[in-house]
Amino acid sequence: MRLLVSLVLLVGCGSDAVDHTPNDPPVDPEACESETYLRYDNFAAGFSADWCRGCHSSAVPEGGRQDAPLDVNFDTEADLVTWRDRILVRATGDQPTMPPAGGPSEEERQLLREWIDCGMP
């Protein structure tokens, strides 16, 4: 596991448009040194439920989203793949901005980065 400062997760509260395509996410061979045990079912689903979906869920009405854009939701694995780059920057970068009130430990953020770098299996 390595903490590489890059993109942002948990898509930010605010609207900076990014081109999103729900294709298979790329694997970063330099960051993903071995096959990861992390999967959507055993890691990312819980992580996003605990740290992201309080604002980034289609079930949260506009007034309860803390300025999270209405079109940025993490309800499914496909949603996380779609917003991969923004999640990397905002949640695992040098100075993470998501979630805005603090949130996951550095170790949890490193696990998120590993899951993403290894292709979001």
On whether residue 95 sits in a domain, the answer given is: yes
On whether residue 62 sits in a domain, the answer given is: yes
The Cβ-side half-sphere exposure at 55, using a 13 Å CA radius, reads 18
**Lowest-pLDDT range of 15-19, 49-53, 72-76:** 15-19
Whole-Å CA distances, 101 to 3, 50, 79, 106: 21, 13, 22, 14
In whole numbers, what is the pLDDT of the chain averaged over residues? 79
On whether residue 6 sits in a domain, the answer given is: no
The Cβ-side half-sphere exposure at 72, using a 13 Å CA radius, reads 29
Cα separation of 18 and 90, whole Å?
Answer: 13
Per residue in 53-105, pLDDT (tens digit) is 999 999 999 999 999 999 999 999 999 999 999 999 999 988 899 998 889 99
Domain range spanning residue 87?
40-117
Total of domains in the chain:
1
On whether residue 103 sits in a domain, the answer given is: yes
On whether residue 77 sits in a domain, the answer given is: yes
Query: What's the pTM value of the predicted model, to 2 decimals?
Result: 0.74
On whether residue 55 sits in a domain, the answer given is: yes
| Nearest of 115, 87, 79 to residue 8 by alpha carbon | 87
